Amino acid sequence: MHWLIALMIGFVAKLTTPGSAEACTGLSLKSEDGAVIAARTVEWALGDAHHDTLAIFPRKHAFTALTPGGENGLRWVGDYGFVSLTAYGQEYGPDGMNEAGLYVGMYYFPGYASFAPYDEAQADRSLSVGDFMRWMLSSFKSVAEVTAHLNNVRVVNVEDPRFGGAPLPFHWKIADETGAAIILEIVEGGQVKIYDALLGVIANSPDYGWHLTNLRNYLGLSGRRKSPSHWTGGNSHPSAEGLA
């Protein structure tokens, strides 16, 4: 049950302090004995999401995915049992982990998520964002397996008023027990983009490429005292004793 313990640790980890920005953040931690823990904050603020409820799915559970046409999407039988944090009484939520140690987390991605248009002729390989998460958790044991099978499905937007009445623009962090972690984003009407998760970290919008570029603005930061800068006719001393 090490996978369940690790998941619970991730659920209760509070990585923010009072007064910090209310934005979900995920990261991966590696212990001295080599165990990998996926942790996150959950600052979903739309009403009472009931994030204190877990759903447990056994092996060989039969699933039917939702599409805009109803319960006519992808059908599959899971190979792995998994546990999922839920929201609004639904059988999916922001995080889940299966018995093989595969973790999948959903993070808010408004303004950027753009799923494939619904095509009734492809309903049998289509699924909602929640079903996409459950498909990964019940079907695969590693990040590599997930990426190898992504072309088999189409993630489509399904408006679900039961999910707090909110739109569901998400992107995903996927990690496994080896420490491998990726960020998966679906943009521009169904284009799938995959990034290696730098230090296992994920945030909300903008897209992950923007975050990686923005990080370059801070590579010069240091806890060491900065020396004054000199130029012809004057000099400048860093503020706060040179801490940057």
Confidence (pLDDT) at 144: 98
Which residues lie closer than 8 Å to 34 by C-beta, 6 or more apart?
Answer: none
Mean pLDDT across the chain, nearest whole number? 84
CB contact set of 23 (below 8 Å; sequence gap of 6+): 43, 203, 204
pTM above 0.75, yes or no: yes
pLDDT tens digit sequence for 161-191? 776 666 789 999 999 999 999 999 999 999 9
The string of pLDDT tens digits covering residues 79-116 is 999 999 888 878 888 899 999 999 999 999 999 999 99
Instruction: Please name the residue ranges forming H helices in the chain.
Output: 2-12, 129-139, 143-149, 208-215
DSSP state for residue 240 in the 8-state scheme: G
The pLDDT score that the predictor gives to residue 223 is: 75
Q: What are the pLDDT digits (tens) for 23-60?
A: 688 989 888 998 888 888 877 656 677 777 889 999 99
Listed in sequence order, the residues at least 6 apart from 186 whose beta carbon sits closer than 8 Å to its beta carbon are: 113, 114, 115, 116, 155, 171, 192, 193
> Residues 173, 187, 157, 197: what is their CA dihedral angle, to the nearest 10 degrees?
0
Tell me what the mean pLDDT of segment 227-244 comes to.
62
- What gap in Å lies between CA 24 and CA 26, rounded to an integer? 7
Domains of the chain: residue spans and CATH: 2-205 (3.60.60.10)
